[in-house]
Amino acid sequence: MGKTLFDKLWDSHVVLSKPGFPDAVYINTHFIHEVTSPQAFDGLRKRGIPVFRTAKTRATADHNVPTIDQHLPIKEALSRKQVEMLTTNTKEFGVELYGLGHPYQGIVHVIGPELGITLPGMTIVCGDSHTSTHGAFGAIAFGIGTSEVEQVLATQCILQYRPKRMKIEVNGQLKKGVLSKDIILYIISKISASGATGYFVEYAGEAIRSLSMEARMTICNMSIEMGARGGLIAPDEITFEYIKGREFAPKGADWDKALAYWKTLSTDKDAEFDVTLTFDAADIEPMITYGTNPGMGIGVTQHIPSVEQMEEKEKASFRKSLEYMGLEPGSGLLGKKVDYVFIGSCTNSRIEDLRLVAEFVKGKHKAEGVVAWIVPGSKQVEAQAKKEGIDKIFEAAGFQLRQPGCSACLGMNEDKIPAGMYCISTSNRNFEGRQGPNARTFLASPLSAAAAAITGKVTDVRELV
Amino acid sequence: MSKNFQHLVSTAVPIAIENIDTDQIIPARFLKATTRDGFGENLFRDWRYDSNNQPKADFALNNPTYKGEVLVAGKNFGCGSSREHAAWAIGDAGFKVVVSSFFADIFKNNALNNFILPVQVTDEFLEKIFSEINKDVNTQLEIDIEKQSIRILSTGDEAKFDINPYKKACLINGYDDIDYLLSLRKEIETYEAGREFNF
């Protein structure tokens, strides 16, 4: 019987597999950031051990950083301390840091791919659940906790049990105005926020294959929102084209050798998955979430389920969720007033996202009373946007182009949505309080978010494109 | 806090909500500490306190009749962010066991790495626990790691739970993954020497 791509990669990274023990899996690339690493470095210090392979860990500051006036000291004392500690720790332990002010600084899951650090065939971990993003390159990539960060720093390995395999196939072609964000929100709405827990997903099918690398990253990014350990897409010409020439990508003869290997990275025809799910791209309309987990999503023209449609034991959680959102069961979202628009996060802050939004808002202006933030994923995305004049389009449309960071996706810095306000957001989580205490989040694609910014309300973007 | 434990008898704190994500367990704005201590005071911060920092009387953790070292919660507990701070907060607040009918993967690892035992039971058994606590807040649960069993003492209802043998040994003996991985140094170097690429 053939093997899945996931199993091929896993097997080739197992350092030791012992009955009764989890596999010791070798990690090729380890990303760290300021929030989930200080206690891990502290652990090394307590044990009196160094970072085992310093060149295989890269650091950046993203979760806590302000998105305006980044040249000034961080105002918030605790955030400043955490960012400073990352500088101290990386210096002491000899780890490369792309800190504030560095031209490579940005959201960890944006900079890895754009610098050519993320490559097919790798195992990649980071103390952040959206590490699944890097799976778009045909890598095993997943989020870990701080104790595991310490394991990787100390040994370049991690102890893991092999997850089960799930294949998600999306066939056919997407309709106009429907983006990869809609595909993943659709899948999660069908299988729920826990539907893939215990599995590693491989995405396949024509609709996935035809996506750009940026769009594939959006899909893999949200694998964790259905509970999956991670999600990957087999590399192809689109992948190789994206990687070629990037800063840390292999060059010359190394490139040829790497390419020959990468071309072998696919699931065998007769390989078996534990679960296979199939969807049709033509069934997907622009999606929006109405509740407080990413599985609570509907097509933008559809209605929120009624309480009666819920299973008995789900009713209390459903009611609590809608109460938090200030929405009525059974109602529609079209025309619902929006206060904030956030275009950013590791899900949708890449140059392609910004170009798409710029093309859409060009010649239009945001609705009065709406605050529209665009937070680029990295310094490089920001620089590219300026080079292309996209910044001027945003300015003319009344959108504020800020500086790179995680920003209002999780509101660790000052970028919080005020209590009770509605934000249509291109990020990945609509949990209670995620964007600020009592903030209310509608997750959607960059196009749907841009459309809401223009009209001031939840809008079917297909009517405007 | 003693790290290892095998057996526990305790009353429990019930939170009958499904899909409790780690942003509820510990909101992002409280992740700025650089040590592992002190997160307990912000456990379930926004469910425990209103916007004026006044305790919300209807939340279980503010109800003095609920106490104990066991947290009982609805299905899909710990989904979302990988923040280990969630496990630290639960441990810091004095819980040693979390019972649910389903756990998110990363949370489960994080909990075990902090000697907090996730006990996964069926939906029916979970309902039974909730309903017994509802009838009597002093309902005691007995958790035995060696036997991998959880029992409701008042009714005698018992369920088995899964835990992998390696993690079970870690919990009972109080040792962690790094001790084990550090012992594999030679195997790791041999593996590295055999790889042509860094991927």
Q: pLDDT tens, B6-41?
A: 899 999 999 999 999 999 999 999 999 999 999 999
Residues of A in contact with B113 (CB under 8 A): 145, 147-148
Please give the torsion angle defined by the CA atoms of residues A142, A146, A147 and A151, in that order, rounded to the nearest 10 degrees.
60
Over the range A284-304, which residues count as b (16 or more CB within 10 Å of their CB) and which as e? bbbbbbbbbbbbbbbbbebeb
Q: Do B127 and A313 touch (CB under 8 A)?
A: yes
| Residue from B53, B81, B122, B179 whose CB has the most chain A CBs within 10 Å, to mutate | B81
Closest-CA residue of chain A to B167: A21
* pLDDT tens per residue across all 465 residues of chain A: 899 999 999 999 999 999 889 999 999 999 999 999 999 999 999 999 999 999 999 999 999 999 999 999 999 999 999 999 999 999 999 999 999 999 999 999 999 999 999 999 999 999 999 999 999 999 999 999 999 999 999 999 999 999 999 999 999 999 999 999 999 999 999 999 999 999 999 999 999 999 999 999 999 999 999 999 999 999 999 999 999 999 999 999 999 999 999 999 999 999 999 999 999 999 999 999 999 999 999 999 999 999 999 998 889 999 999 999 999 999 999 999 999 999 999 999 999 999 999 999 999 999 999 999 999 999 999 999 999 999 999 999 999 999 999 999 999 999 999 999 999 999 999 999 999 999 999 999 999 999 999 999 999 999 998
Write down the pLDDT at residue B196: 87
Write down the pLDDT at residue B167: 92
Residues of A in contact with B102 (CB under 8 A): 194, 197
- The CA-atom distances, in angstroms, between A235 and each of A126, A200, A259, A332 are 21, 16, 10, 39
d(CA A129, CA A370): 30
Closest-CA residue of chain A to B115: A147
d(CA A432, CA A421): 12
Closest-CA residue of chain A to B186: A15
Q: Average of pLDDT values for B151-168?
A: 96
The minimum CA-CA distance between A28 and chain B, rounded to whole Å, is 6
Write down the pLDDT at residue A140: 98
Non-local (6+) Cβ contacts of B146 within 8 A are B6, B7, B172
Q: Do B192 and A26 touch (CB under 8 A)?
A: yes
Write down the pLDDT at residue B1: 38
Please say whether the beta carbons of A112 and A132 come within 8 A.
no
Write down the pLDDT at residue A384: 98
Q: In angstroms, how far is CA A10 from the centroid of its own chain? A: 22
The minimum CA-CA distance between A123 and chain B, rounded to whole Å, is 7
Token pair for A415: 């970028």
Burial class (CB in 10 A: 0-12, 13-18, 19+), A305: middle
**Interface predicted TM-score (ipTM):** 0.95
A434 CB within 8 Å of a chain B CB: yes
Write down the pLDDT at residue A11: 98
Q: Place B3 in a pLDDT band, splitting at 50, 70 and 90.
A: low
Residues of A in contact with B120 (CB under 8 A): none
Cα of first residue to Cα of last residue in chain A, in angstroms, is 47
Token pair for B29: 């704005």
Write down the pLDDT at residue B123: 97
B84 CB within 8 Å of a chain A CB: yes
A257 CB within 8 Å of a chain B CB: yes
How many helices and strands, by DSSP H and E, does chain A display? Answer: 15, 19
d(CA B75, CA B104): 9
Query: What's phi and psi for A213, nearest 5 deg?
Result: -60, -40
Q: Do A151 and B31 touch (CB under 8 A)?
A: no
- The CA-atom distances, in angstroms, between A355 and each of A244, A358, A373, B114 are 21, 5, 15, 44
Mean pLDDT, rounded, of chain B: 95
d(CA A375, CA A354): 9
Give the nearest partner residue to B166 out of A20, A139, A197, using CB atoms.
A20
For residue B82, the SS3 value is coil
Residues of A in contact with B110 (CB under 8 A): 145-147
